[in-house]
């Protein structure tokens, strides 16, 4: 069916589910490979983070966004971390004719207090709410960052097998051994939204520049994927939240490194009620070489993209996003 903007929308996307506790890792790899070649999205259950701790992380995230605006603005910085002003000031989506409604707090690690090298855009100190205002907040979020990275490394081993690589390929120091994780705590609010709209835009259509993204959500739906962004009209499929699971998607870096075997699928957020999510973007180290995997190239299918250092690709992305380009536009340039 078509919505009020003429966009075709299905009820729900059917995604494969990967169980990290399943001892049959080859079966998991086959299921993951099929998902990554099809939609680029899949669920991950039994990911190693307890329900109790995940509930605590969401509770702490909500406490932050409930702070007065002036208090949150103390954590606004120009670099890619800290509080992000209401997203409606940053993003406008022509397809839905709406500005984005939401706010975010970003945490990048590992922390490097004295490294502000402009050639390493994800380096530098994080900014934290005062312990007097939110006691224990920093410790909780740093623990989540590490536990989610552990989950990402487990998923990386299954991805390696799916691509016929050594199971520990992504564990190398230059890839996920010294990974550059980027966590975005997101709050999508309904304040100041246009009441005439059937839904509210949270995030415009985009793909992620990461290797993979691990998304934790509350029980409020909102995520949609579009398998063919060039279709007219575009068909958007709703991705239902799955309790105690991650929704994982392939990012532009992994599509690039797999020589387009795996898909980095466009997605967006449309919501009708207040919503909280935590997006964990898994990046390799700044010095990692982003190049085609040896198992994904041949004489008949040479690498589509030239090798480039991760930090150089970051700089291209961050310098051009401000011009309205998506990360995918840039990595495909």
CATH code of 39's domain: 2.60.120.330
- Rounded CA-CA distance 310/69 in Å is 35
- The answer to whether residue 76 is domain-embedded is yes
CA distances for 168 relative to 60, 159, 161, 163, 214, angstroms: 34, 10, 9, 12, 20
* Residue 7 in this model has a pLDDT that exceeds 70: no
Look at residue 89 and tell me if it is in a domain. Answer: yes
Give the number of domains in the chain: 1
d(CA 221, CA 233): 22
The answer as to whether 134 is a domain residue is yes
Provide the residue count of the chain.
Answer: 333
- At 216 the three-state DSSP class reads strand
Please state, in angstroms and rounded to a whole number, the distance separating the CA atoms of residues 251 and 41.
Answer: 10
Nearest to 278 by CA among 47, 22, 69: 47
Are β-strands 41-45 and 246-250 bridged in parallel, bridged antiparallel, or unpaired?
antiparallel
Query: In terms of residue numbers, what domain contains 67?
Result: 17-332
Its pTM surpasses 0.85: yes
Q: H or E element: which one contains 188? A: strand 182-188
Give the per-residue pLDDT at 211.
94
Would you say residue 112 has pLDDT above 60? no
CB under 8 A, 24+ apart: contacts of 167-173? 167/25, 173/285
Whole-number Å distance between alpha carbons of 100 and 273:
14
Q: Is residue 234 part of a domain?
A: yes
Q: How confident is the model at residue 23 (pLDDT cuts 50, 70, 90)?
A: very high
Residue 1, pLDDT above cutoff 80: no
Establish if 2 belongs to a structural domain. Answer: no
Confidence band for 80, pLDDT divided at 50, 70 and 90: confident
Residue 9 within any structural domain of the chain? no
Residue 8 placed within a domain: no
Q: What is residue 230's predicted lDDT score, i.e. its pLDDT? A: 85
Residue 113 has pLDDT above 70, yes or no: no
**Mean pLDDT, the chain, integer:** 86
Residue pair 104/184 in contact (Cβ under 8 Å)? The answer is: yes
Task: Look at residue 158 and tell me if it is in a domain.
Answer: yes
């Amino acid at each position: 069916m078509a919505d009020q903007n003429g966009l075709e929308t299905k009820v729900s996307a059917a995604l494969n589910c990967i169980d990290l506790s399943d001892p049959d890792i080859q079966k998991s790899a086959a299921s993951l490979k099929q998902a990554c070649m099809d939609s680029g999205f899949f669920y991950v259950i039994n990911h190693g983070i307890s329900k109790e701790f995940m509930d605590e992380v969401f509770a702490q995230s909500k406490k932050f966004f409930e702070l007065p605006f002036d208090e949150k603005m103390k954590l606004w910085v120009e670099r890619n971390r800290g509080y992000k002003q209401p997203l409606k000031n940053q993003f406008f989506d022509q397809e839905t004719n709406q500005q984005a409604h939401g706010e975010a707090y970003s945490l990048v690690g590992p922390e490097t207090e004295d490294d502000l090298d402009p050639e390493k855009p994800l380096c530098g100190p994080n900014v934290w709410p005062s312990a007097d205002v939110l006691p224990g907040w920093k410790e909780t979020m740093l623990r989540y960052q590490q536990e989610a990275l552990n989950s990402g490394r487990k998923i990386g081993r299954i991805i390696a097998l799916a691509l016929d690589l050594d199971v520990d390929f992504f564990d190398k120091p230059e890839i996920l051994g010294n990974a550059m994780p980027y966590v975005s705590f997101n709050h999508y609010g309904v304040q100041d939204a246009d009441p005439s709209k059937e839904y509210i835009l949270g995030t415009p259509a985009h793909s992620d520049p990461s290797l993979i993204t691990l998304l934790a959500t509350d029980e409020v739906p909102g995520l949609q994927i579009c398998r063919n962004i060039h279709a007219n009209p575009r068909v958007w499929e709703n991705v239902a939240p799955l309790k105690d699971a991650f929704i994982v998607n392939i990012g532009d870096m992994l599509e690039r490194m797999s020589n387009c075997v795996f898909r980095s699928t466009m997605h967006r957020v449309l919501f009708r009620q207040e919503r909280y999510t935590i997006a964990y973007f898994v990046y390799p180290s700044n010095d990692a070489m982003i190049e085609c995997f040896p198992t994904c190239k041949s004489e008949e299918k040479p690498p589509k993209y030239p090798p480039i250092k991760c930090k150089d690709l970051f700089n291209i992305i961050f310098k051009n996003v401000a011009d309205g380009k998506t990360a995918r536009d840039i990595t495909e340039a």
